[in-house]
Structure 1
């Protein structure tokens, strides 16, 4: 477990990022959530809590327990939607995504200084998925693109960021939702289009042709590259935030003993950012190329989804 953050402080100490264990984000998230809840407890106690009811809730970890119950219920919805009634998932995704993202924005844009994470590619992919569902559900090219992003970089991010099912953590469950749900929604549309669109406002594309590598690989990769270049230009050339503002690049290169740091530092500190994004482009290309297999073969797609869901949680045990 990483070192705890200082009491009533949301400043992320760089030493917390260079830890002997690899559970960096989980440790920071848990300790930050705990500090955030304690801060809110004091705030409520001083203002609205005249009866002591709010203090009772925080003292007995009622918010975490509520998150736990909702998270378990959501697991049943995911399983039921994947295996029995695929038409549930588009509605479920449409309702839950804005709520969870609003809560995450409220938290990440607060004193924790995780603002830059809100600019990650995963949010672009989720927005694209929402546009497909509600605006162009019969557009096969756009579906290829959404399928590739959801079953490519987003699913692999579960392992890269070492996400797992921490059922009492709203932040961890939100991350799991963001990374997994686009893949689950596109799974239903790809393999059970009639059932997935049974109660949708219009039918999904019923006949899927062979995978188009232009839309399955080239277009998502171009979007990924364009997003990263714009991000680097704005954040690292124009804005230049201090080191206390964490993002994916700083997260992966914070530990000098990690493989990511050594790989990004092959040509020295001056080229670290360039090498890091070059490696990202290569990895993204490989992930997108593999989606051809998930798109073509049902069994391969099912096995991959199962491995991504189970793998990180088994590793943590």
Structure 2
């Protein structure tokens, strides 16, 4: 009987060890798979930058094809991942609407000067500056973070190629609105150009803002109250300790979101003002894009340095 109990005890211990080893092996395999996926993403991210730079320098007239193809690939993935995390209300933000406007400008209405002006101002204004506002990171091993930078930066790069790098004859044939504005721009006074930019960037913004209010703020009110994040709730939490945040939070709750909308519109107008410089001067436009891209790379470098610092600290503690 004692031998029987010992045998059962040994079998039980063996089963426990086997299960622990099996769990450890599965966890290791998952870690290896994740690591391999991150390596693949990192390589693809680096090559994406290299290919984009090559197209800009050698074949800028086809860059809008490259931009469109990537947008059609990345947006469905972004929708799927955001929906799984219950963050899909972020997809109604203005930066995504600007990408849709850019697609309309390129493929549907290349003759509309008003649409182009609105798209250009919102891309070089709202989207470009949002790199700083949202502290976007160029982290190559994260498809989510790379997609965010893409959403902000790529419309600007595509429009830069169409405005400044495309041959004039091809521009006149394929994008007559851009060609007509460039031909007319030298004869316009600065105040006339700024007025046109203000008006035609305000129109699509107001259309988007009204649609956002009724489709998200009103219709999704219960989901938002249950915890689904939006840009308004995120910014209210993030900037709660800043001067503007304190002022907004001091208002009655019913007035906080209208105040946020008004603040966002002022932000849109202010960021659109320099767009006249970017449109008239290709070197100023290129410099601006480099600065914007540098901001995302700097944020990514900060992320990596903090990650390595924590990893080294954990290794030192484990050794100690």
Q: TM-score by structure 1 length?
A: 0.74
Q: Deviations over 1:126-145 (max 9, x none)?
A: 11111221123344333222
1:137 partner SS: coil
In the alignment, is residue 274 of structure 1 matched against residue 258 of structure 2? yes
Q: Is the 8 A contact 1:148 1:291 kept in 2?
A: yes
Given candidates 88, 91, 97, the residue that maps to 1:124 is 97
2:249 aligned residue: 265
Is the CA contact 2:118–2:202 (under 8 Å) kept in the aligned structure 1? no
Deviations 1:217-276, CA, capped at 9 Å, x for gaps = 212222212322332233333331224211110110014324452242243433211211
Q: Distance in 1 between matches of 2:255 and 2:169?
A: 47
1:204 to 169, 172, 175: 175
Aligned twin of 1:144: 117
In the alignment, structure 2 segments of 5+ residues that lack a partner are: 1-25, 303-320
Is 1:115 the equivalent of 2:88? Answer: yes
Bigger CA radius of gyration = 2
TM-score, reference length from structure 2: 0.74
Choose from 15, 40, 59 the match for 1:66. Answer: 40
Q: Is 1:156 aligned to 2:129, yes or no?
A: yes
Give the whole-Å Cα distance in 1 for the aligned partners of 2:230 and 2:244: 14
1:295 corresponds to? 279
CA distance in 1, matches of 2:294, 2:147: 17
Determine the structure 2 residue equivalent to 1:186: 159
User: Which position in structure 1 is the counterpart of 2:144?
Assistant: 171
Report the counterpart of residue 232 of structure 1 in structure 2: 213
Please tell me whether the aligned partners of residues 129 and 271 of structure 2 are also in contact (alpha carbons under 8 angstroms): yes
Separation in structure 1 between the aligned mates of residue 255 and residue 152 of structure 2, nearest angstrom:
30
- Contact 1:87 / 1:195 at 8 angstroms: preserved in 2? no
Contact 2:117 2:201 in 1 (8 A): no
1-side partners of 2:46 and 2:232: how far apart?
A: 32
Root mean square deviation, CA, Å = 2.6
Higher relative contact order (CA closer than 8 Å, sequence separation 6+) = 2
Q: Is the 8 A contact 2:127 2:153 kept in 1?
A: yes
Greater helix fraction, Structure 1 or Structure 2? 2
In structure 2, what is the equivalent of residue 308 of structure 1?
292
The Cα of 1:183 is off from its aligned counterpart by: 0.5
5+ residue gaps, structure 1, are 1-51
- Number of residue equivalences: 262
Structure 2 Cα separation of the partners of residues 129 and 196 of structure 1: 21
